[in-house]
Amino acid sequence: MAKPSGLSIDSDPNISFSLHIPTVLNSFPEQEDTKPSIIINNNSNYCPKVSVSAMDDASTANTSPPPPTTIQFPVNLNRSQDDHPRRVIGEMDFFAEKSFKLAAEVDESDHANADINDPVDRTALELNVNLAVLQVELERMNTENQRLREMLSQVTANYNTVQKHLVTLMQQQQQQDGKGEKPEEQKKSNGELMVPRQFMDLGLAAAAAAAEVETEEPSLSSTDGRSQDRSGSPNAEVASKDFRSRKRGSSEDGRGTGGEDSPDGNKVPRFSSSKTVDQTEATMRKARVSVRARSEAPMITDGCQWRKYGQKMAKGNPCPRAYYRCTMAAGCPVRKQVQRCAEDRTILITTYEGNHNHPLPPAAMAMASTTSSAARMLLSGSMSSADGLMNSNFLTRTLLPCSSSMATISASAPFPTVTLDLTQTPNPLQFPRPEGQFQVPFPNPPSHPNSQASPLPLLPQIFGQALYNQSKFSNDIEQPQMNHQLQQGQQNSLADTVNAATAAIAADPNFTAALAAAITSIIGSSHTSNVANNNGANLTSTTNNAPGAPRQWWFGGGTDLTPAYIFEEDVKHLHSNID
DNA sequence: CGAGTTTGACCCGCGC
DNA sequence: GCGCGGGTCAAACTCG
């Protein structure tokens, strides 16, 4: 990776310094050898200046990079009178201990008479630049700190709003419970959440079972080990076929004895753990995550290996639907369907189903984590509402608080499906919430229309690992026994929500790195949080189309200006991370 | 020759 | 009961 790295001084009387600092937050392993450098140019007669710019791939690869941030400060250099053209006097390595040591030994006052041809004066110049670098860096950090504080104040305000909202809703809930109305009936009467009863019932068991499983076997996401890690459960291939067998056998149950037959023929009591696990498997398999992305390619690249096992013409769409199954591990139950949108054939609709039973490569982590988190958000949401603690309105506003039209949950589909629409801009004002759909924030589509191969940004491995660690940490701690099932389900919901959000914000590596600690702290705090902590942080970002324009971030938001939901523990952790 | 794809057949659920 | 549509199977085929 060849990047300009050196200290050069032109011969004009006024010299400008260009300090190039590799973007630390966005650095990749191959960039580690990139060092800050100073380029001193004499392109101004009266105003020597140091210009600090962050050098990254964008600024170097782009033909018209955004102008670097230029911070000017006086530099008095007595140039030699010879008009030598540009002369490179050496490279300043800011990571070299020698550079700082030399600079510290030089009297600062010497810089006024510095002669760039004199080694001592050059050292003085280096000192001057070093101080400037530190000043600039300090200034930048102050600015960043200020920005984070503003964000925190906004989050705090949102928290207060939500807390009031929660109290109101809890009061309403108590009043309705006093009338003896069951939650399911409430939903029907309210007409706000028309989720199939089958899904609601399974979702309760699924979330509970998922909580049990995850307590024993924490994992980065539900995508790894869901099938194979369950003790006594069949392997994934068997489970996959068992699902089909169960589906076929379910219609025969009515003719049978009425007992529940396990796949291996043993009688299994109702509500046993294995039955719950089966229901979990069935539900997780039924829950689907659909990703819409613009792509000319026949299939989006999600990091997994797939084998096509069928193709059908689907009704209402002239484009055939292809069926794939994951082949990264024998018996992985994950399948996906790929079909072009009938209305806009540039849009590729990929529907994922099931959870991987094997470790995933980093490249596959983002998509798998996102889809599985979205699916489990769906299931956890159903559990919470079915449990009666939250009515549908609350579910809508807390679990799925944003209506940025980037992700939708279709409850009317044959299977509960979360649709992540990566084809639209996330501007909430442009996309009013459709009736009967709940929406969750997800990242904007690839900024470049041709970046078809990666509709979702790759989640940095370190970020995923942090989530894993936090998940493990929170699961290792004994849970208060208030309502074990519910609480763990909510914890999963929180983790899923945050997990999805983190995958979303991974679109911006700078922000990802900056907020990784905060997000993971939110997860880690969930075990001590109260019921209201079900919500988690929803982070949405948008990018101005103009190259180099800053990415804007906000918590929550949406057409109805629903505030973000960050609760006390989360705010504390944000505080601690910022301070 | 093995892995992956194609494609017709089959199964099942569901609505009429 | 029947037909339709979605989903899967598996033999045939293709390709490297």
Whether A325 has a pLDDT exceeding 70, the answer reads yes
Strand C lies under 7 A from the Cβ of residue A342: no
Specify whether the CB–CB gap between A39 and A20 falls below 8 A.
Answer: yes
A406 band by pLDDT with thresholds 50, 70 and 90: low
Identify the CA nearest to A302 among candidates A462, A438, A448, A420: A420
A554 contact to strand B (CB, 7 A limit): no
Q: What is the band of A372 on the pLDDT scale with cuts at 50, 70, 90?
A: confident
Read off the DSSP letter of residue A50.
E
Give, as one character, the DSSP assignment of residue A116: T
Note the strand B nucleotides within 7 A of protein beta carbons: 4-9, 11-13
Question: How many angstroms is C1' of C8 away from CA of A316?
Answer: 21
Alpha carbon A208 to chain centroid, angstroms:
25
Determine if strand C comes within 7 Å of the CB of A307: no
What are the backbone dihedrals phi and psi of residue A523, each rounded to the nearest 5 degrees, phi first?
-65, -45
Nucleotides of C under 7 A from a protein CB: 4-10
Tell me the pLDDT band of A131, cut-offs 50, 70 and 90: confident
More confident residue, A278 or A240: A278
Supply the pTM of this predicted model.
Answer: 0.39
For range A443-456, the mean pLDDT: 35
Q: For residue A259, is pLDDT > 60?
A: no
Counting every residue, how long is chain A?
579
DSSP state of A330: T
Distance of C1' in C15 from CA in A307, Å: 15
End-to-end C-alpha distance for chain A, whole angstroms: 35
Rounded to whole angstroms, the Cα distance separating A42 from A351 reads 58
Tokens in use for A64? 């018209």
**Alpha-carbon distance A81 to A34, whole Å?**
34
Give residue-wise pLDDT tens across range A300-314: 878 888 989 999 888
Tell if A309 CB is < 7 Å from nucleic strand C: yes
For strand C, is any atom closer than 7 Å to the CB of A320?
A: no
| Better-scored residue on pLDDT, A432 or A298 | A298
Q: How confident is the model at residue A120 (pLDDT cuts 50, 70, 90)?
A: low
d(CA A280, CA A233): 12
Asked if A316 CB < 7 A from strand C, the reply is: yes
The spacing between the Cα labelled CA in A438 and the C1' in B11, in angstroms, equals 34
Rounded to an integer, the average pLDDT of A447-468 is 33
Please compute the mean of the pLDDT values over residues A382-400 and round it to a whole number. Answer: 35
Give the bridge partners for A205, in sequence order: none
The per-residue b/e assignment along A102-122, b for 16 or more CB within 10 angstroms, e otherwise, is bbeebeeebbeebebeeeebb
**Comparison of pLDDT for A569 and A7, the residue scoring more:** A569
User: CB < 7 Å to strand B — which of 246-275 in chain A?
Assistant: 247-248, 250-251
Report the pLDDT value the prediction gives residue A282, as an integer from 0 to 100: 53
Question: Is the confidence at residue A506, as pLDDT, over 50?
Answer: no
Q: Closest CA to B3 C1' — which residue? A: A307
Q: A40 falls in which pLDDT band (50, 70, 90)?
A: very low
pLDDT at A445: 34
Compute and round to an integer the Cα radius of gyration of chain A.
28
**Do the beta carbons of residue A452 and residue A294 sit within 8 Å?**
yes
Beta bridge pairs of residue A8: A88
Choose among A563, A574, A578: nearest CA to A524. Answer: A574
